[in-house]
Structure 1
């Protein structure tokens, strides 16, 4: 395998690793912050299920700011993860170049880099 083929394989590994890391973060956020936010809005949610109006939703979120901010954080991170997962079909050139730079930095640092064993495993090419 040439150095260029190794680089592309390692870029794909790094991209996959970042996608998995982002989804793990989203899952942990929903388990912790999301569940606490929903628990904080449990009374309002019961009201919404009984008599749903947009005014009730607005009131509930406005007067329960911390749970509302927690839900916004969880939803925002979910949307970011969805957007990044869309790139599995093909990376944009700018994103690909950024990942290539990261791979080069990982290669340069070598086995002391935390991601080295996941990104550069099986490739014996280390850029100096």
Structure 2
């Protein structure tokens, strides 16, 4: 079955709202996305203060969530995520910055049947 990773870079509306942003992401948004058929896992990460290059974070975002998609058509799963998110079905909270630094989403599809390092 085709596999893909959806990477979403995002930011809280302000540093003072970071705790609210993390709570909303962990308790509301991530479970909503995981309920979409084909989304099988999620990992949330925050950029380290030590980086190999200046300005390494796309759009200045420090937060990244990686959703693993396993479905015959990963692009259809992405379309459903976007439909639910933009269609008002999900509580998008008030701590996510949707104005100054809009989230950046990128879908990466597997380009090989064999994972690197696998026998």
TM-score (norm 1): 0.24
> Which of these two proteins has the greater Rg computed from alpha carbons?
1
Q: Which of the pair is proportionally richer in helix?
A: 1
Q: Which of the pair is proportionally richer in strand?
A: 2
TM-score (norm 2): 0.25
